[in-house]
Amino acid sequence: MSSYEFPETITVRVTGESHCKKGLPYEIIEVDFKEYVKSVIVNEWGANWTELESLKAGAMAIKTYALYQYERGGKYGGYENGIVFDCNWDMVYNPNIRRPLGDQAVDETWDYIMTVDGEIFQSHFLAWHINCKDWLGKWGTCMGIWNT
């Protein structure tokens, strides 16, 4: 893990849906980067998740994934086009759902990111680790939420 200076904001393609479908309309909003991570953790790990260490692992994965996309200009053609979607094509972002334990996990890990050879780690996560092998096996950079 390395220390890193984070961007202040990230742009998000907001559909208002947790499951993306091709052709969904969206608007692009700019969000405080730390608030973005806090709004993703409970939507991905679950609002009733009680294991702080698991949430910390999630906070690291979410933050590192978003930063990896940010540093590369996103998957959608640059900052002004939205770095990430708010749905399962990237990570589910809903600013209306937050929990103190999720915020704590983000706060306690905020100063760190994961790197490989000095480069930001391309992190991924899915519900179960077995799905990582099926969906993302070629990268070997995926963890299962229910395995944390």
For the chain, give every domain's residue range: 2-117
Q: When comparing pLDDT for 59 and 79, which is higher?
A: 59
In whole angstroms, give the CA distance from residue 14 to residue 4. Answer: 27
Tell me what pLDDT residue 129 has. Answer: 46
In whole angstroms, give the CA distance from residue 93 to residue 52. Answer: 20
pLDDT at 132 over 70: no
**What mean pLDDT is predicted for residues 89-96?**
89
Q: When comparing pLDDT for 29 and 144, which is higher?
A: 29
Structure tokens at 122: 């391309």
